[in-house]
Amino acid sequence: MKEEKLLSAMGDIGDDLIAAAGARLGLMTNDPSSSSSGTEEVIMDTKKVRRFSKTTLIAAVIAAALAISGLAAYYATTVHKTNGLSGTWDENKRVYFEDARTYVTFESGAPRHEYLFKANWLPSPPTYGDAGQFVDYLADEGHGAVLPYEINSYNRTDLQGIRYCFDGEAEVIRQDMWRGFERTELVMDYTGTPHGYTKANYILLFQPEDNYLVFIGGTDSMETLGKIADNLEFRVGAVIEELYDYGSDIAMLDLGRG
């Protein structure tokens, strides 16, 4: 979440909310006997407080208050459900992806950097890309029927304002910060689609400060894709001054189509 939005949201957390958070944790109790007209004092349950340092107590109460207020962590990577997706494709041609069931957007106002990656571990030799080099990689076993892994990057495409769609139904299984990237892990269900596989896993690594995306997808397990990510090496270059405009506000991220 942008700083001003977070501060504004936290500013809305009143004393009564903090008190409710403490009560929920069992660290504070409301004492009716100590209340006077229109006021209510919050007293500490000292037996339980002894187990916590002051810092721990404050952190716990704030965390609970955030949970009560319904605030969630904000990420620049957002996963959306859809039932078909229309947009502009390839120099202002209108297109409708009727099979699209999921799309992802990336928010960043930062300039795009030349940003390279190298895979220092792969589960099998790539059919495209030279292992150990700063290039994209693809393993194709069965001419598209099975794609154990695919790794590519988006550092010249302007991610701002573009919707990247999938034909499958997505389940977000994790979204967090990882090595300076926003990491989003998706399990995609392709049941009923023309794809040669019914399930695929995806790890999206987005760097909003450099406006850069690393895409890891495959029919291999999430654990295998995670090991690929763990062993990636990154190299950040100069800002890209001139960007090619594809004339599109929509693109595809399904395996073999990104």
> pLDDT tens, 62-93?
555 444 444 457 899 999 999 999 998 777 78
What per-residue confidence (pLDDT) applies to 185? 98
In a domain, 17, yes or no: yes
In a domain, 109, yes or no: yes
Last residue of a domain, one of 69, 102, 122: 69
Angstrom CA distances, 132 to 19, 71, 222, stand at 56, 42, 22
Residues 188-242: tens digit of each pLDDT:
999 998 888 899 999 999 998 888 999 999 999 999 999 999 999 999 888 888 7
Domain with 139, as residue range(s), is: 77-252
The CA angle 90-95-101, to the nearest 5 degrees, is 115
Number of domains, the chain: 2
Q: Residue 185 corresponds to which tokens in the numbers above?
A: 């892990």
Burial of 116 (0-12, 13-18, 19+ CB in 10 A): middle
Tokens 């700063």 appear where? 134
Shared domain for 195 and 84, answered yes or no, is yes
In a domain, 257, yes or no: no
Shared domain for 130 and 23, answered yes or no, is no
The least confident of 72-76, 94-98, 248-252 is 72-76
Last residue of a domain, one of 45, 69, 93: 69
Residues 3-56: tens digit of each pLDDT:
444 444 445 455 555 555 455 445 444 444 444 444 333 333 444 444 444 455
Angstrom CA distances, 171 to 61, 72, 163, 184, 200, stand at 31, 18, 17, 10, 11
- What is the CB neighbour count within 10 angstroms for residue 226? 17
Across the chain, what does the average pLDDT equal?
Answer: 77
Last residue of a domain, one of 22, 46, 69: 69
Rounded to two decimals, the pTM is 0.70
> Is the pLDDT confidence value at 106 over 80?
yes
